[in-house]
């Protein structure tokens, strides 16, 4: 029978059988992943269906993914792909027991050397996330050469988070895996699966607390520095009625807390990771659980700020007293984390990508600037008055903006523009104008810049499977060298991250 004429239910049964036969061993009987990634609509959101069809047909070179073009007909492959893009009902669960059971201790910490096993400056290393074959390269930022490369979990997303002066770094994958890596020993220490579909991770500077924001299940997970579960908090409104995905979580050092926003409930949470918080008089920092008359101690318990609108993406002022946030529709607001309410509206358009915002001093004012995923502009905002000072036109909507305190320039991509995704634009932070364009090869994305520790060089990603990290002299803007890489996505300099350099994301 032609598949198109089969009833939908029969097609689904057929697809489920093919899944069990061909896919379950690697991707898990429940589609939650195993040796291969999870095959759920949430986790496949970044993969176009046409590409998924091709992967099932032809396999993925240099991975364990086999081709099934000879084993299944085209119609069967189409039905299978349709099926993995449809939700699992009821929604899969990932309990505290699942989290605990998933933890892997890769090395005994007692066997790790307490000094770097290489001679490069440990504070000027870069980590380059290579999405092409799911690896991470470690670069020496002085010699601008790789010193190590190791396999990562599938589809890392968000910046890795550094702790203990840059010795340890924590990665989060879209499939929920958190990896603790010892940069001095160049070894994976431990891993845990904190969720099924994860946004990002945040880590306290002493490396003792890790927070994980999940879309699936609706939880914010708190781990200790060895990735043991401390608690998993159900992300619901304060009445426990409406459940929500968690948009993202960040660490706020001056407040010794994690700040998270919910995506489906208009609330910001602050979760203190210091027990000292319990010494603060009740009523100021403690939260009141509605209806039950019970005060909840502040340590590791969310303090909620109610808003009128949800936050998708957000950015903090340097002292972390205020948060600038935007919803998917671009409605912007400023939330004061001490008075716990919205204090201003932000006149933003499109879909500002506040998470990649940067700050600097401009004509005696502190400003922040952000790209926009839907508008071809960089928006510059006064951090004292919240007014938009300048909308700098760019070649196209962009994802990432980067600078360094020692550089007069900020680099912005136009990644979201099919015609201009190969162009990086250089903005003069004083004149607030584009002063130079660095064009790669049309059709091949050039994006995501990170500076060396001293701001002397800017490293950009030629974001292709046969791509490279391209090194530019940050003063002359000339190319210095390129290091071949498999689809380099983000790159992260230890010093800039640990010092919370103003020109980079945190
Ligand atoms: Fe990201 C960071 C959200 C799509 C690459 N991205 C972040 C962060 C958030 C976010 C909240 C900050 C987390 C952190 O660093 O702790 N990203 C989103 C989205 O909502 C969006 C638009 C849709 C989605 O499906 O999640 C999205 N992001 C993408 C991509 O398509 C990118 C380009 C490719 C990819 O790998 O998925 C992408 N996002 C990145 C990178 C960072 C990031 C490289 C870290 C930037 C940095 O320099 O710190």
- Residue ranges matching CATH 2.130.10.10 in the chain: 235-346, 350-506
pLDDT tens profile 199-258: 999 999 999 999 999 999 999 999 999 999 999 999 999 999 999 999 999 999 999 999
> Furthest-apart CA pair in the chain: how many Å?
74
The closest-lying atom of ligand 1 relative to the alpha carbon of residue 489 is 44
Portion of the chain with pLDDT greater than 90, in percent: 79
Q: Give the separation between CA 401 and CA 496, rounded to whole angstroms.
A: 14
CA pair distance 166, 124, nearest whole angstrom:
10
CA–CA separation, 134 vs 116, rounded Å?
24
The CATH 1.10.760.10 domain(s) of the chain lie at 3-84
One DSSP character per residue, 240-285 reads S-SB--EEEEEEEGGGTEEEEEESSSSEEEEEE--GGGGGSPTTTS
> Is residue 278 predicted with pLDDT exceeding 80?
no
Give SS3 for 105.
strand
Mutate to test the pocket of ligand 1, among 158, 213, 262 (most ligand atoms within 8 A of CB): 158
Fold of 350-506: Methylamine Dehydrogenase; Chain H (2.130.10)
d(CA 261, CA 249) in angstroms, rounded, equals 7
Tell the residue nearest (CA) to atom 4 of ligand 1: 46
Whole-angstrom Cα distance, residue 178 to residue 40? 19
Percent of all residues in the chain with a pLDDT value above 70, rounded to a whole number: 93
The residue whose CA is least distant from atom 11 of ligand 1 is: 248
| Distance of CA 200 from the midpoint of ligand 1 (Å) | 9
State if residue 248 touches ligand 1 by the CB under 6 angstroms criterion: yes
pLDDT value of position 61: 79
- Is residue 9 over pLDDT 70? no
Output b/e per residue, 167-191; b: 16+ Cβ within 10 A.
bbbbbbbbbbbbbbbbbbbebbbbb
Q: Is the CB of 449 under 6 A from ligand 1?
A: no
Fold classification of 115-222 (topology level): Lipocalin (2.40.128)
pLDDT tens for 280-334 read 544 444 444 444 444 456 899 999 999 998 988 889 998 999 999 987 776 789 9
Write down the pLDDT at residue 296. Answer: 54
DSSP 446-479: EEEEEE-TTSSEEEEEE-STTEEEEEEETTT--E
CATH, range 235-346 = 2.130.10.10
CA separation for the pair 488, 401 (Å, rounded): 17
Question: Ligand 1: which residue has its CA nearest to atom 40?
Answer: 158
Helix, strand, coil proportions of the chain in percent (round to 5)? Answer: 15, 40, 45
Give the span between the Cα atoms of 324 and 332, in whole angstroms: 7
Distance (Å) from CA 158 to ligand 1 centroid: 5
Task: Label the pairing between strands 209-216 and 219-224.
Answer: antiparallel
Where is pLDDT greater, at 355 or 95?
Answer: 95
Specify the 3-state DSSP secondary structure of 118: coil
What residue has token string 């979760």?
271
Query: What is the atom index within ligand 1 of the atom nearest the CA of 313?
Result: 11
Q: Does domain 3-84 have CATH number 2.40.30.10?
A: no
Residue 448 C-alpha from the chain's centroid: 13
489 alpha carbon – ligand 1 mean position (Å)? 10
Which atom, in ligand 1's list, is nearest to the CA of 402?
48
């Amino acid at each position: 029978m032609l598949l198109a004429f089969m009833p939908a239910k029969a097609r689904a049964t057929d697809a489920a059988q093919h899944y069990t036969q061909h896919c379950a061993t690697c991707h898990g009987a429940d589609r939650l992943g195993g040796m291969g990634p999870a095959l759920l609509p949430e986790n496949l959101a970044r993969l176009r269906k046409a590409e998924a069809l091709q992967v099932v047909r032809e396999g993925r070179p240099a991975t364990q993914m086999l081709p099934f073009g000879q084993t299944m007909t085209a119609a069967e492959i189409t039905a299978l792909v349709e099926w993995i893009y449809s939700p699992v009902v009821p929604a899969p669960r990932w309990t505290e027991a699942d989290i605990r059971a998933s933890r892997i201790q890769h090395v005994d910490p007692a066997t790790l050397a307490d000094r770097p096993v290489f001679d490069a400056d440990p504070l000027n290393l870069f980590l380059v996330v290579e999405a092409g074959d799911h690896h991470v390269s470690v670069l020496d930022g002085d010699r601008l050469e790789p010193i190590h490369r190791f396999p990562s979990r599938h589809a890392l997303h968000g910046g890795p988070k550094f702790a203990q002066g840059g010795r340890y770094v924590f990665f989060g994958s879209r499939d929920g895996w958190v990896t603790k890596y010892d940069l001095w020993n160049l070894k994976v220490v431990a891993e845990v699966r904190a969720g099924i579909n994860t946004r990002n991770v945040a880590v306290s500077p002493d490396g003792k607390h890790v927070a994980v924001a999940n879309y699936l299940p609706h939880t914010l997970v708190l781990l200790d520095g060895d990735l043991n579960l401390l608690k998993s908090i159900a992300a619901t409104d304060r009445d426990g009625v409406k459940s929500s995905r968690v948009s993202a979580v960040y660490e706020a050092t001056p407040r010794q807390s994690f700040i998270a926003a919910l995506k489906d409930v208009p609330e910001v949470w602050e979760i203190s990771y210091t027990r000292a918080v319990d010494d603060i008089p009740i009523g100021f920092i403690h939260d009141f659980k509605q209806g039950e008359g019970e005060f909840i101690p502040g340590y590791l318990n969310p303090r909620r700020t109610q808003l009128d609108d949800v936050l998708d993406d957000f950015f903090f002022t340097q002292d972390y007293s205020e948060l600038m946030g935007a919803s998917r529709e671009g409605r912007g607001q400023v939330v004061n984390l001490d008075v716990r309410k919205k204090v201003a509206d932000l006149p933003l358009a499109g879909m500002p990508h506040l998470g990649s915002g940067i700050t600097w001093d401009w004509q005696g004012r502190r400003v922040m600037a952000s790209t926009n995923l839907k508008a071809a502009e960089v928006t510059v905002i006064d951090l004292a008055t919240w007014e938009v000072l300048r909308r700098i036109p760019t070649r196209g909507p962009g994802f990432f903006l980067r600078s360094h305190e020692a550089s007069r320039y900020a680099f912005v991509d136009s990644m979201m523009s099919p015609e201009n995704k190969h162009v990086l634009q250089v903005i003069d932070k004083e004149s607030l104008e584009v002063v130079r364009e660095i064009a790669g090869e049309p059709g091949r994305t050039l994006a995501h810049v990170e500076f060396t520790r001293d701001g002397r060089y800017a490293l950009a990603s030629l974001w292709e499977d046969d791509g490279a990290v391209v090194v530019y002299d940050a003063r002359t803007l000339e190319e210095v060298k390129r290091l071949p890489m498999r689809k380099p996505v983000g790159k992260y300099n230890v010093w800039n991250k640990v010092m919370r350099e103003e020109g980079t994301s945190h």
